[in-house]
Amino acid sequence: MSLIQQLINGLAQGSVYALIAVGYTMVYGIIRLINFAHADIYMMGAFIGYFAVTVFHVPFLPALLLAMIGCAILGMTIEKIAYKPLRKSPRIVLLITAMAMSLILEHGMATVVVGPNPRPFPELFKINIIHLGPVQINNVQIINLSVAIILVLILQYIVYKTKTGKAMRATSYDMEAAQLMGININNIVSITFAIGSSLAGAAGVLVGMMYPRIDPYMGMMPGLKAFIAAVLGGIGVLPGAMFGGILIGLCETFTKAYLSTKLSDAIVFSLLIIILIFKPAGLLGKPTREKV
């Protein structure tokens, strides 16, 4: 197993974590909520993709788009019915509500909609292994990486180049001052949930293609790791989430390859603890003062 091979595997894995982590960090940036239901939106994305392909027989791109749109709507709906009425409540109330939303999605899917058993994600592309010297890379990995990169570029464009993005950054910095500029913050919060959720939905489909077994609890572990990625990069900092996602993906792949498969998760979590001891605000986060 060559080093470059592991690098490629790690990047493919990391890009998925990055896509999910972005949603955690964006929502946190705007309403200071760790949205625990986010991991389950990722799971829902995989299932929407699954049904799009198995029931409606659409190819990859429409399936991906359907998953993204479906998750965007789901994310906005959850925000409107569960989080918005609590915006002025203590943060712990919001956090517990997010956990409840997560459980509702997981168990709703497992008991009512699809049942608890894993389902095989349909093969959208015939897996083709390409040999580049000693390194082998398959077409699904290439597609996943390219889709992730394109989505991240689009996200960067929206956040840093558009008027909506400017309003998002302003709202995230100071919600009250943003209102005084005439920014309708309810819309901005909705848009933030929509974007974050659609990226998680895309990740769901991409993971379905890489590891073709999906079930209602598939969001737990990747969700947790993406959350760690967001914290590691500095929660609320967009480039931090992407960087953290890639880092976690690489770490996980390298520990699995060179140290221990069993301990790889433990090592990833220990890494978080160690980094947070030295940089409590995350790698790219700035230490914040508590507002009074």
Contacts with another protein, residue ranges (CB under 8 A): 163, 166-167, 169-170, 173-174, 176-185
Asked whether the beta carbons of 228 and 268 are under 8 A apart, the reply is yes
Q: How far is the CB of 170 from another protein (least distance, A)?
A: 5
Nearer to another protein, 12 or 31 (CB): 31
Q: How far is the CB of 172 from another protein (least distance, A)?
A: 8
Let me know how long the chain is. 292
Q: How far is the CB of 176 from another protein (least distance, A)?
A: 6
Q: Which long-range contacts (CB under 8 A, 24 or more apart) does 47-55 make?
A: 47/109, 47/113, 47/114, 47/204, 47/214, 47/216, 48/201, 48/204, 49/121, 49/201, 49/204, 49/205, 49/208, 50/119, 50/121, 50/122, 50/208, 50/214, 53/122, 53/124, 54/122
Nearer to another protein, 167 or 226 (CB): 167
Q: How far is the CB of 167 from another protein (least distance, A)?
A: 7
Hey, what are 83's tokens?
Answer: 């989080």
- Beta-bridge partners for 52: none
DSSP 235: T
Nearer to another protein, 111 or 162 (CB): 162
Nearer to another protein, 176 or 290 (CB): 176
Q: How far is the CB of 87 from another protein (least distance, A)?
A: 13
Nearer to another protein, 124 or 185 (CB): 185
Nearer to another protein, 144 or 190 (CB): 190
Hey, what are 45's tokens?
Answer: 């994305």
Q: How far is the CB of 236 from another protein (least distance, A)?
A: 10
- Beta-bridge partners for 280: none
